[in-house]
Amino acid sequence: MAGMVDGKVALVTGAASGIGRASALALAREGARVVVSDIDVAGGEATGRLIAEQGGEAFFHRADVGEERDVAGLVAACLDTFGGLDCAHNNAGIAGGMGPLHEIELEAFEKTLRVNLTGVFLCMKHEIPVMAAAGAGAIVNSASGSGLIATPGLSPYCASKHGILGLTKTAAVENAKRGVRVNAVLPGSTRTPMLEASLAMGSEIEKMVRANQPGGRFGRPEEIAEAVVWLCSDRASFVSGESMLVDGGAVAR
């Protein structure tokens, strides 16, 4: 049987580890040729090798999503190598500055927004024209449960993820008649290097984060990737402007 994205060309940013790597692997497993991107060259190339080992086709292209020249070059590389771009998972992001809002340095706030929010804006700015010209395409942006509710101590991150939802909804409505669907996936606390770094700050932090999970466990990157693949596929053909929580019920509690 054909995979859910069989024959499509997919782009994944932040694909060197965590959710991005899981997404790239899942898209390849479901039949897509995958452009893997990250600022982490070693990690990105490793993701490409993992795809090849499972019988898929991929190549790595380094890009800083906060730099428009890099993003334009990334999309151009998709076209040059695979001849098109059918779906994209704009996933690159950082945790950013931590602490009470009034103690966050402006530099830390601006860096978080540059990667998390401006990065998504720039990716869509360059992806949408390519997809619209082909009359079809699907974009999935990585937001977070923190895009819906407050996250004390993570105001820059929270602001960036709220912003992603606004960009996602606006782009979905603007491009509905052009055949381009735009959605967001909102992971809950997921076992990624970013989460592990936060948990390493102390056992009390892990207890606090785990207590917010109704099921008592963290998500796995592969579980988030399944939602991404579905949203990228034609099975989600009437889904656009959606903010899909994949969080084990954390926000619903």
SS (H, E, C) 68-82: HHHHHHHHHHHHHHH
**1, HSE (Cβ side, Cα atoms, 13 Å):** 3
Catalytic annotation present for 206: no
Rounded Cα gap, residues 163 and 179, in angstroms: 23
Backbone angles phi, psi at 230, to 5 degrees: -60, -45
Rounded Cα gap, residues 208 and 211, in angstroms: 5
* From 82, 109, 157, 218, active-site residue: 157
Please report which residue ranges of the chain form alpha helices under DSSP H.
18-29, 41-53, 68-82, 106-113, 119-134, 155-174, 193-199, 203-211, 221-232
Cβ neighbours for 163, distance < 8 A, ≥ 6 positions apart: 113, 116, 117
Distances (CA, A) of 104 to 92, 100, 146: 22, 7, 17
- The owner of tokens 């993820």 is 161
Burial (CB < 10 A; 0-12, 13-18, 19+), residue 41, is exposed
Tokens of 234: 């034609």
The residues annotated as belonging to the active site are 157
